[in-house]
A and B are shown apart, each in its own frame.
Chain A
Amino acid sequence: MDDQSLVKSILNGNTQAFSFLIRKYEKLVFHMIQKLVNDEPSIEELAQDVFMKVHEKLPGFRFESKLSTWIATIAYRHTVNHLRKSKRMVYKELEEASEDRFFVSEETPARVYEAQDTGQYIQEHIQKLPAHYRNILYLYHIEEMTYPEIVEITGLPIGTVKNYLFRARKLLKEQLSKFVKREELL
């Protein structure tokens, strides 16, 4: 079922259609929230709130963007508002954070040796990146969204989106270099 028919069916009161929409976009919403929040019970609660909001706002959705972009925007803004209310996210601190800080804490040669494979090693390091970096990496690489779509979701300027994406990849590549060199030594 395409998104237009799906939305029409939901607006006609079909709860099965809304259930289908949830299943179709739940991964996107969970990933979006997970990139910003680490606490697992909160992720599910926030995801529920997001879909409640989606249902509430759906009559106003005019297909000016893709349904996935619109849902991701709601998920992003709802989570950021939640974090702001609980004072767990300070943008200024994030923007001013030094890149050197991201991987310093536990990065020891022993740690590099502990990693099982490249995938696991990269995932561990993605988790250490700031929330915005993680989110943009996810939207760009997994959801294959364009820059304008990411701008719409995050509300960040296009230059900042590109900057975060390239900086994140550069930082990860430097870490990956350590891992690859370890493999060569073994």
Chain B
Amino acid sequence: MNIDKELRDQEAFDEAPFSEEDKKLYTLLMAELDKESEIRIKPTFSADIIKKLEARKRRETIWEFLLFAAAIAGVVILTALTFSIFTSNATESVDLFQNSPVGPVIALVVLIVIFQVVDKKYLKDTRLKKRLNQS
């Protein structure tokens, strides 16, 4: 620390020319301020944090696995639903588009949109973000 510069800046702030006593006091004070005070830190502090991080990582892995399983189950259910809509419609009428074309098409579009949103929000974006951040 440049003590002369500090004294000049302090003098400008105090708005009064320093006496010899002021200079001595400020010099003594700044020497004391530059000394670090004692602080107690447990020796196991870093190890405790690493343990916490590992526990959090385990929880996140389980949560990600559950989300992935739910997404797979969702795909299976949505496929079955779509298939059942088409087959029920086909059994009720020979011509799919002549009898009631709007209902099944809207249902299909809705199912696809829901799947895309779930896939983007919970799988692609989160994984992609992690990869991008790490690169």
Which residues of chain A have a CB within 8 Å of any CB of chain B?
11-12, 15, 18-19, 22-23, 26-27, 30-31, 34, 44, 47-48, 51-52, 55, 59-60, 118-119, 122-123, 126, 137, 141-142, 144, 162-163, 166-167, 169-170, 172-173, 176-177, 180
Given A15-B50, A26-B46, A169-B10, A59 and B133 touching (CB < 8 A)?
A: yes
* Residues of B close to A180: CB separation below 8 A: 25, 28
Q: How far, in whole Å, are A167 and B13 apart by their CA atoms in the complex? A: 8
B134: Cβ under 8 A from any A Cβ? yes
Given A59-B134, A166-B13, A170-B14, A119 and B32 touching (CB < 8 A)?
A: yes
* Residues of B close to A47: CB separation below 8 A: 45
Given A52-B49, A173-B22, 6 other A-B residues pairs in contact with their CB atoms under 8 A: A18-B50, A142-B36, A144-B1, A170-B13, A173-B29, A177-B21
A177 to B52, Cβ gap below 8 A?
no
Given A118-B28, A172-B29, A180-B25, A31 and B39 touching (CB < 8 A)?
A: yes
Given A122-B33, A137-B33, A170 and B10 touching (CB < 8 A)?
A: yes
Q: Which of B21-40 contact A (CB under 8 A)?
A: 21-22, 25-26, 28-30, 32-37, 39
Given A52-B52, A166-B9, A173-B29, A26 and B14 touching (CB < 8 A)?
A: no
Main secondary structure of the interface of A (DSSP, over half): helix
B106: Cβ under 8 A from any A Cβ? no
Which residues of chain B have a CB within 8 Å of any CB of chain A?
1, 9-10, 13-14, 21-22, 25-26, 28-30, 32-37, 39, 41-42, 45-50, 52-54, 56, 130, 133-134
From B9, B10, B32, A118 is in contact (CB under 8 Å) with: B32
A44 to B42, Cβ gap below 8 A?
yes
Given A59-B134, A122-B33, A23 and B46 touching (CB < 8 A)?
A: yes
* Residues of A close to B1: CB separation below 8 A: 141, 144
From A142, A166, A169, B34 is in contact (CB under 8 Å) with: A142
A123 to B54, Cβ gap below 8 A?
no
Q: Distance in Å from the Cβ of B64 to the closest Cβ of chain A?
A: 16
B46 to A19, Cβ gap below 8 A?
yes
B49 to A22, Cβ gap below 8 A?
yes
Q: How far, in whole Å, are A60 and B49 apart by their CA atoms in the complex? A: 20
